[in-house]
Amino acid sequence: MTGDAELIRIAREAREYAYSPYSGFRVGAALLCADGTIYKGCNIENRAYGPTNCAERTAFFKAVSEGKKEFAAIAIVGGGEEPVWCYPCGVCRQVMAEFCEPDSFQIICARSEREYKVYTLEELLPEMF
C-alpha cells in the first residue's frame, strides 16, 4: 500500500517534466488507483493559453485512457523554484468528481514529504454537481 510520503515523492518526480514556459509555475501530480497502480501527470501549457492542461487532469486522463476508473488518492506538488501550497483548480475538482468518491478520495497537497495537508474531495468541492 502506497503511503502519503511515497505518493508525494512521485508527484515531485512528475513535476520535473512540467512544461510551463508561460507561467513558470511547475506542478506534478501522482494519482493512486484503487488497484495500487500510480499515474503521474504534469502541467502542460500552450502558447494560446486556453489549451493548457493541469497536472491533475493529465494524470486522470492518462489513467482513464488506460482503463482505470477507481481512485484512492492524488498527491499534488506545485510552485516556482520551490513548492508552495498548491490546490487543484475548479476544473480539476470537477474532473475528480466524475470518478471519485467524495467522502473517501484523498487530495494530498504537499510542499514536501513532511509538510502536507490531506483533504477529501467533498471538503474541496462541497455541493458538487
67 — phi, psi (to 5°)?
95, 0
Residue 53 corresponds to which cell in the numbers above?
492542461
Task: With contacts defined by CB under 6 A, name the span among 3-11, 21-29, 59-67, 110-118 that binds ligand THU.
Answer: 21-29
Instruction: Build a one-symbol-per-residue string for 33-72: x at contacts with ligand THU by CB under 6 A, - elsewhere.
Output: ----------x-x------x-xxx----------------
- Is 123 annotated in the active site? no
**Contacting residues for 116 by C-beta, under 8 A, at least 6 apart:** 4, 8, 75, 108, 109, 110
Query: Does the protein bind ligand THU through residue 86 (CB under 6 A)?
Result: yes
Decide: is 89 part of the binding site for ligand THU (CB under 6 A).
yes
One DSSP character per residue, 81-103 reads SSEE-----HHHHHHHHHHS-TT
Of the listed 6, 16, 56, 113, which one is catalytic? 56
CA 58 distance to own-chain centroid: 8
Q: Annotated catalytic sites, by residue?
A: 56
Binding site for ligand THU (CB under 6 A): 20, 23, 25, 27, 43, 45, 52, 54-56, 76, 78, 86, 88-89
